[in-house]
Amino acid sequence: MSAPSPDNEHRSYASQLNRKMLGKLIVIAGLMFAFGYGLVPVYRSICALTGVNFLTPQDSTVVAPSNTQVDKSRTITVEFDGNSRGAWRFRPTVSSLQVHPGEMTQVIYEVVNKEARTMDAQAIPSYAPMEAGAFFKKVECFCFTQQTLGPNQAKEFPVVFYIDPAIPKNVTSILLSYTFFEITKPVVAKPA
């Protein structure tokens, strides 16, 4: 019998080291999977004990919290106005509302194109007193984009807004006024 060559011994030793390393990596991967899998129930238990990030209450009588950013101690009168430049009938559906700062409110404006042609228009808002404009927050408004109305078409446009509760205490009334004007140039017939 011949003695094993140093090259074969080295391969055998390297093969043993590789098998040991593979075994260690499999154990580590299994432990990582088990840790990740077990983390969900541990997280839920900790959240239930501390009351932090508790998303699904077990008691069905729990009442949803109210918006704490609404200042119920104050009321502001918001008056609405509509002006038009061109062949439009433009007006709010209500002349005024009482709102609490922080309360989400919606008002509707009606627009009628009185021409027998399609027209593009834009509304520009203004506020009185001027300082109120910084606290009047529109979430949805037809003034954000150009509007197209077909011949003799009528549309209703919502304005969804709230008044920032940081508005100065001396402001008790705000006027929101829109000017609605045509932005397309009318087609003029050329003389023959």
User: pLDDT tens across 34-77, in order?
Assistant: 888 787 787 777 767 766 654 444 444 444 444 557 888 889 99
Token code pair at residue 9: 């011994």
Specify the higher pLDDT residue, 63 or 84. Answer: 84
pLDDT of 120 above 50? yes
Among candidate residues 67, 71, 91, 66, the one with its CA nearest the CA of residue 135: 71
As to burial, measured by CB atoms within 10 angstroms (0-12 exposed, 13-18 middle, 19+ buried), residue 88 is buried
Q: How far apart are CA 179 and CA 65, in angstroms?
A: 39
**Highest mean pLDDT (candidates 23-27, 49-53, 178-182):** 23-27
CB 109 within 8 A of CB 161: no
The whole-angstrom separation of Cα 113 and Cα 122 is 13
Whether the full predicted model's pTM is greater than 0.85, yes or no, is no
